[in-house]
Amino acid sequence: MQNFRTLIRAVETTSQLAELARSSQSYHFAVPTNTTVYLHVVDAEIFAARHDQPVVEVVAKVGAPFAWRVACEQDDAGVYFVAQRKPLVGQLAGALARAAFILTIPLDSHLILKLERARLSMQNLTGEFEFAPLPTTPLLKPR
């Protein structure tokens, strides 16, 4: 019976630690027509969609929030959202520091994406898309 109680406590503690390591935050911006949305994300997954509301919404689902630097701002020209792993802490957190960003923008908004090592899924989008070529030189030099 003592082993069972110890096992239950260990499971509860693990569950509590996992919950502390996850965070979800929503950002909402009321925007005028023809606004620009700029998203710069590093090492994350992005889901982008359009809707018929005059609101930009970003839902950030971040593992190990202490390993991320997130900044957002709005001005007359548009909405800016940047999310990057902190250099050392993000590497140490490893797989715990995964993140997904769900971006929903108005139908008449311009979307600018700067992505680094990211996975992109787009829904209900129309337009021309151009993707820059990957660097031809290796990122890591062999020894």
The pLDDT of residue 27 is 94
The pLDDT of residue 136 is 65
29-52 confidence digits (pLDDT tens): 999 999 999 999 988 899 999 999
- Smallest Cα–Cα separation from 120: which of 39, 29, 22? 39
pTM over 0.85: no
Judge whether residue 22 has pLDDT over 60: yes
Measure the CA–CA gap between 79 and 125, rounded to whole angstroms: 18
The pLDDT of residue 17 is 47
**How far from chain centre, in Å, is Cα 44?**
5
Q: Is the residue at 82 inside a domain?
A: yes
Q: Is the residue at 10 inside a domain?
A: no
Q: Is the residue at 64 inside a domain?
A: yes
Measure the CA–CA gap between 107 and 103, rounded to whole angstroms: 12
Segment 15-36 shows an average pLDDT of 78
The pLDDT of residue 47 is 94
Q: Is the residue at 115 inside a domain?
A: yes
Q: Is the residue at 61 inside a domain?
A: yes
Q: What percent of the chain has pLDDT over 70?
A: 71
Measure the CA–CA gap between 143 and 17, rounded to whole angstroms: 40
Residue 30, burial from CB neighbour count under 10 angstroms (0-12, 13-18, 19+)? exposed
Q: Is the residue at 140 inside a domain?
A: no
Q: Which domain holds residue 106?
A: 20-121
Our count of domains for the chain comes to 1
The pLDDT of residue 48 is 93
Q: Is the residue at 31 inside a domain?
A: yes
Q: Is the residue at 6 inside a domain?
A: no
72-104 confidence digits (pLDDT tens): 999 999 999 999 888 765 455 555 668 899 999
> Is residue 109 a contact partner of residue 74, using CB atoms and an 8 Å limit?
no
Q: Which amino acid is at 137?
A: T
